[in-house]
Amino acid sequence: MTSDTFSINGKIAVVTGGAGVLCASICRGFAAAGVKVAVLDLRAEAAESLAAELGKEAIGIACDVLNKSDIEAASQQVLDAFGRVDILVNGAGGNKPQATTSADQSFFDLPAEALRWVFDLNLMGTILPSQVFGSIMASQKSGTILNISSMNALRPLTRIAAYSAAKSGVSNFTQWLAVHMAQEYSPEIRVNAIAPGFFLTEQNRFLLTDQTTQELTPRGQTIIAHTPQGRFGQPGDLLGTAIWLASPASAFVTGIVVPVDGGFSAFSGV
Ligand SMILES: NC(=O)c1ccc[n+]([C@@H]2O[C@H](COP(=O)([O-])OP(=O)(O)OC[C@H]3O[C@@H](n4cnc5c(N)ncnc54)[C@H](O)[C@@H]3O)[C@@H](O)[C@H]2O)c1
């Protein structure tokens, strides 16, 4: 091992959903490690303000990961600013109450538009940026793609049918793209994913905490009881794995999904 083994200093990273809770933390950690970061997010102002916080070698770009011409325009801005793309983090994703079963809404009543929204955001929102930025990596013959899957992909959680199926699609696509890029373009292009355990963020707060008292719901309590480390993740908990998967330290690692979950996926419940 050399001092460069885990180095991503000087690399260019594109992070979609970069202004969100988990990915903003990855953006901050990457910038601190010497990476020039392009923060792409549907929320233009949030992307720009995070980029301003990261310093003059970061840019914030408004980009909808479901709109290919938007992604192509963003990729041109990234190339104009930095000249290449070494790391793509496909972070945009999420769930919504309308696609979640509850006492008031059975599985049979979940509206097709809400289900489709969740599928599109998580799965198509990973595939489309991988096409655009993956093609840049194919011409460079190098790069790393990091997708964000979920615990739901291993075993589905109750209530969130579309989100579970969509994240399982993200894990499957991670393996598919890893093989495709290595065989068709370059063995130096690697594709992996992180499967975060439970992090209390805006997309799941309505499920895990009571909206008035802020106390844990029974579901939130069950999650903590099934997380051997006994807590929710902190956004910074993903950073070490993200740096490992983006750096030469993982040079022979492609097509895997790494749980960062406080032991949730290892615990049988007994
Ligand atoms: N929070 C958790 O416990 C958890 C667990 C497992 C996986 N994840 C996944 O981690 C990723 C980040 O989640 P988070 O909890 O930080 O959520 P978040 O809602 O804080 O961040 C998501 C970001 O994506 C952006 N976004 C939404 N739609 C977009 C679009 N069409 N185009 C571009 N950007 C868009 C949002 O503006 C937001 O900034 C998601 O893929 C999520 O599914 C989260």
Does the annotation count 163 as an active-site position? yes
Token digits for 165? 């199926």
Active-site residue, from 82, 117, 163, 199? 163
pLDDT tens column, 85-121: 999 999 999 999 999 999 999 999 999 999 999 999 9
Question: In the chain, what are the domains?
Answer: 12-197+233-259 (3.40.50.720)
Report whether residue 146 contacts ligand 1, using a CB cutoff of 6 Å: no
CA of 93 to the centre of ligand 1 (A): 4
Burial letters 138-158, b for 16+ CB under 10 A, else e: beeebbbbbbbbbbbbbebbe
pLDDT tens column, 16-48: 999 999 999 999 999 999 999 999 999 999 999
Minimum CA distance residue for ligand 1 atom 40 = 93
Task: Tell me the C-alpha distance between 95 and 114, whole Å.
Answer: 9
Model confidence at 201: pLDDT above 90: no
User: What's the pLDDT score for residue 86?
Assistant: 98
pLDDT band at 266 (very low <50, low <70, confident <90, very high): very high
Model confidence at 188: pLDDT above 90: yes
CA of 24 to the centre of ligand 1 (A): 10
pLDDT tens column, 208-232: 999 899 899 999 999 999 999 999 9
Model confidence at 202: pLDDT above 90: no
